[in-house]
Chains A and B, each alone.
Chain A
């Protein structure tokens, strides 16, 4: 069963390198889809089913879809993906960096594993994620209000940054 986790985490690192190495937003968003999906798998493995559901629904199904539509509006006729050498070189460079840092930090390859299959400490998720959200609404009321206020401020910030449809600067460049 550890192999399942190996594959999941391997795919996660690949997807992250894909996000970082692709200059075109289409392929980078595709990498994000892969990363989020695999992250959901890892979360479910540790018992955080609610958090995984929220990740899929809101992150992938809400925010990433909106991002994909907005990116499609700023369409690029010839997006550069892994087919072009600079992007592929960057991707391989990132993977090399991850592998080298990993070997730097691992003490041995035999008696220690990168995978944790045990639940330990605070990261035992069986009730953690749902209880966490419930706590935010009950005793964490002040932080909930703070979070709501900050989201509203973020809305104003985004509106202010993108003000002036074609006269604004984000279209001028």
Chain B
């Protein structure tokens, strides 16, 4: 893509998130979300082949629907209460509508159906931007509204963790697996939103770090299916040896950093006398763990039958920028001891 256009689009994406972050008026928040949606559309159909355009159209339609719902909710709120402030939504209809609209925006179950299909049609870098950056603005809004109904967020969260786990089980396309992983993690974030919002932020940022490393790993190996990962050990052995840790961190196993958000969320849910919910959520993490393990099995833990010469390719210096991968992989593996510091830093 023309570098000037690319610059303008990336700037517009930054602008949109910044506007939503800085807004206390619903119209301005909506405007930021719309700018974000608009600016990512050409990035999504960059390759101009029909699958990418299909993904772009699906993304546009769902995000436009969500933005329209957001607008209806804020206008209803203005009609009832006479003001447009984000934090002062006190009636249940607008608040519920806003929550559902934002759930559609980020892809929580049961409004998740667009996510695997959209991610499947994109290349890995754009998929990464979609999974990480585009979640920031809706979460900023979710963190600021007063939830109307305790059970709505809990149902959205639990359904997302379960759907994210079960949906990813039968996939061998990596981008769909990443989509379902995203849905599951978003479920965990929403579960604790009304009790301890700092944990939502912590889970969001930890998820960003972990999924960044996974996306970039797949990009470096240029693989989009599990089968193509099976020969990556010979081309990039160090990355292949680190991938099980990244995947187990995403699955939430101690002593890796992915355990941090799950641990704290389970603790908070138990403190709120929601122990059965916490148990269900922890069990649903097992489902996700299965497909993370499957990827690491295919990539690192087994060697597929192959002729000897394929195991010894020339390992030429790569032109890919792997420094971000190195940084995020280290953070994905080693951040657990810093839990108290991170909680203190992220206290809202």
Contacts and interface: CB of A to CB of B under 8 A. Distances in A.
Interface of A: 121-123, 146, 149-150, 153-154, 156-157, 160-161, 163-164, 168-170, 172-173
Interface residues of B, number: 23
Contact of A156 (B8, B35, B53, B79): B8
A169 B53 contact: yes
Contacts of A156: 5, 8-9, 42
15 contacts: A122-B82, A146-B19, A150-B31, A153-B8, A153-B39, A154-B38, A156-B9, A157-B38, A157-B42, A160-B1, A161-B41, A163-B48, A164-B48, A169-B49, A173-B50
Nearest to B54: A173
B50 A150 contact: no
B12 A150 contact: yes
B53 to A, nearest CB: 4
A20 to B, nearest CB: 12
B269 interface: no
Chain A, interface SS category: helix
Contact of B9 (A146, A149, A157, A170): A157
Given A122-B78, A160-B5, A153 B35 contact: yes
Interface in B149-183: none
Contacts of B19: 146
Given A156-B8, A160-B9, 10 more contacts: A122-B82, A123-B79, A149-B15, A150-B38, A153-B8, A153-B9, A153-B35, A154-B38, A157-B38, A160-B42
A168 B47 CA distance: 10
B12 A169 contact: no
A161 B35 contact: no
A161 B50 contact: no
Nearest to B83: A122
- Pairs A-B, 9 closest by C-beta atoms: A160-B42, A169-B53, A153-B12, A169-B48, A121-B82, A157-B42, A157-B38, A173-B50, A161-B42
A43 B35 CA distance: 28
B45 interface: yes
A172 B50 contact: yes
